[in-house]
Every structure is written in C-alpha cells, then in structure tokens.
Amino acid sequence: MSTLEVLRGGTLTTVPDLGRPGHRAGGVPASGAMDPFAAAAANLLVGNEPRAALLEITLRGPVLRFGRAATIALAGARFSAVLDGRPLPWNRSVAVAAGGALEIGDALDGARAWLAVDGGIAVPEVLGSRSTHLRGGFGGHEGRALAAGDRLPLGPPGDGLPRRLAAPLFAPRNGRLEVRILPGAGEEGFTALARERLTAAEYRVSPLADRVGLRLSGPPLSHTAGADIPPEGTLPGMVQVPGGGEPIVFGPDGPTTGGYAKIATVAAADLGALAWLRPGDRLRFRRATLGEAREALARRRAAVAVAVEICSGIEENSREEGAACTPST
C-alpha cells in the first residue's frame, strides 16, 4: 500500500476527519478537525470528499515523504512550507512526485492548518470515524500525535485536477477575531456585570489553549451562586467559567459533561475559526439569535461547497496563491 512517511512529527500533528458523532453519552466527544470548514476545503482542493481524513498541523509542522505521486493541498493558517526545495503555495492543489519530501515549518500568522492528500489518510475507522481522540488514545494513527518513523496508509489516488480556493475562509485577521454567541448555556448563573463584560471586553488566548478547550484571560466573570453546577451535558463551543472567573471555550475534544457554570455557546458557524488563534491573540464575543446562528451556519457550509474551483492554465507549483484560474465549465 502507498504510504506517507513521517520524518518529523512537529508540535502536534494528528489525523482528523469531520468527527465521530453518536457516542457522547459514553463520554466520547466528536473530535474531528478543529476547523471543519478549512478541513473540508483542503479535501475538496485535492478532489476528496469533505469528510476524508487528513492532517491537522499545529504551530510547527511535520516533515513528510510521499510513497506515491500525490495531489496535496494546505489550507488554514500560513506556515512556512517547502516541497522538494521550492516554497509550497497554500489554498490550492499541488502535484507531488513519488518520493517527494514536504517540510512544513513554523506557523507564520496563526496556529493550525490542514493538509489533505488525494485519496485521504486511510487509517482504520474507529467508532465510525478516523479522527484521533488523544485523551481516549484511539482513532487516527494509533490514537496519538504523529512521530518520526510513522507510516500512514494513503487511499487510492484522485483525479489530479488543479483546483484553488476562490473565496477566503472565515479566520482571524491580524490576530483578532470576533465570534457570535448564543445565550442558552446557563447565563442566568452569572451577574449582570459578567454578562455585560462578556461582550464588552476583549479576551486574550492563554498558552493553555488546545483541542480540549481554549482558555482565555481577561476581566473575570462572576457567578451569582458559585461556579459549581450539577454536572450536565456539554458541547463544543460552550463557554465554561470555573471559579477563577476566566472563560474556557470547549473544543472538539472537550469533555462531554461538565460541572462548571456556562455563560454562552459560540455559534457553530464561527467555532472553527478559533482553531487559528495563537496564544496572545484577541477574541471578542457578539450576541446573536438562534435564527441568525442557524442562518450563518447554513451560509458557511454553502460557501465552502462552492469556494473550491477547478482551474485550467495554472502553472504547476506556481508560487502565487491568486494564480490565474479560469473556472472550467
């Protein structure tokens, strides 16, 4: 079988797909790509189904060698990346020769990116998904982050057509992001001042930000009757506030239940963009209605589906992101 060989694992490189629904009552979160829209876009760029397994790359990327000719695409935050000695363009498909080596270095303007390979990463499905669940130690490649010496199976090669991303993904700009929030998670457990602060203040992303939760620092949010609640079901995007008053936004590997009061839920349409934030970046919250959040999610999904277009007449390995691309008919 054709493989992708890992020569260096990077800071935290894992295999996700779009997640593992249906097992929350057993304590199993969905996991999956932290920005499902960027991951879907990367997959579409190489001709895969949106939910194919790919690589999620964090802060410093891996070094990889391709066991077969492949079409790859890197989407998400910008990383320094070199393919066989030449800079790798992002947000478009790139052809790799058999034996080709890709070195993805440091993130330049964000925290995470997604690397798709045509045919997908063909690790076995566990509970209906190929996503890594780090805490559970299953899924992805042996339930863990990639390390030097790993060999990942690749699926059958795709059509190899050149494609590019024609519209930008929703992401932070200059280290700043504003996301919509819904109120239903339990805001009655917080003071009026806390509720006002949540949308008036700017929060900074703490160094303790990972796939489980994005810890934020900023003005503390006070509870009316203590931080503890009878433990109840939680979801990605819920904003939990422990006793110290600083909020944590749950990510895709977040716990399925929690015993701290929650002040809001980040709208699903905006949740993926949190994956791009680096420690020190700034985050603001803006209130939205349930209807607005649903509409935004539908728009976001539709936008990804049409954002990728097949090109003709672009030079192989052209370095420019906005290389001429005539949509084929």
Partner 1 sequence: METRIPLAWRWAAEEAVLGTLACEEWDLAARGAHGLAARIAALPGAEALEIVPGVRSVLVRAREGEALAAGPLLAMREIEVAKDGESAGTEHRFAVGYGGAGGPDLAAVAAAAGLSGREAVALHAGALYTVAFVGFSPGFPYLLGLPPALRLPRRQAPRPRVPAGSVAVAGPFAGIYPQATPGGWHLLGHTETALFDPRREPPALLAAGDRVRFVPA
Q: Does 26 bind partner 1 (CB under 8 A)?
A: yes
Q: Which of 254, 300, 260 is nearest to 19 (CA)?
A: 254
Candidates 54-62, 73-81, 171-179, 265-273; binding stretch for partner 1 (CB under 8 A): 265-273
Output 6 or 18, the one with its CB closest to partner 1. Answer: 18
* Interface residue with partner 1, options 63, 82, 126, 303 (CB under 8 A): 126
Output 90 or 285, the one with its CB closest to partner 1. Answer: 285
The tokens of 85 are what? 């000695």
Candidates 8-16, 37-45, 239-247, 263-271; binding stretch for partner 1 (CB under 8 A): 263-271
CB of 286 closer than 8 Å to CB of 179: yes
Contacts 24+ apart (CB under 8 A), 187-193: 187/263, 187/264, 188/224, 189/223, 189/224, 189/225, 189/229, 189/261, 189/262, 189/263, 190/221, 190/222, 190/223, 190/224, 190/241, 190/261, 190/263, 191/222, 191/223, 191/224, 193/222
Binding mask 206-245 for partner 1 (x = CB under 8 A): ------------------------xxxxxx-xx-------
Q: CA torsion, points 126, 127, 128, 129, in degrees to nearest 10?
A: -50
* Interface residue with partner 1, options 157, 220, 255, 279 (CB under 8 A): 255
Q: Residue 127 Cβ, how far from partner 1 at the closest point, in Å? A: 6
Candidates 61-69, 275-283, 288-296, 305-313; binding stretch for partner 1 (CB under 8 A): 288-296
Output 209 or 325, the one with its CB closest to partner 1. Answer: 209
Q: Does 23 bind partner 1 (CB under 8 A)?
A: yes
d(CA 215, CA 233): 19
Give the total of residues touching partner 1 (CB under 8 A): 42
Output 103 or 253, the one with its CB closest to partner 1. Answer: 253
Question: Which SS3 state, helix, strand or coil, does residue 207 take?
Answer: strand
Q: Does 144 bind partner 1 (CB under 8 A)?
A: no
For the chain, the C-alpha Rg in angstroms (whole number) is 20
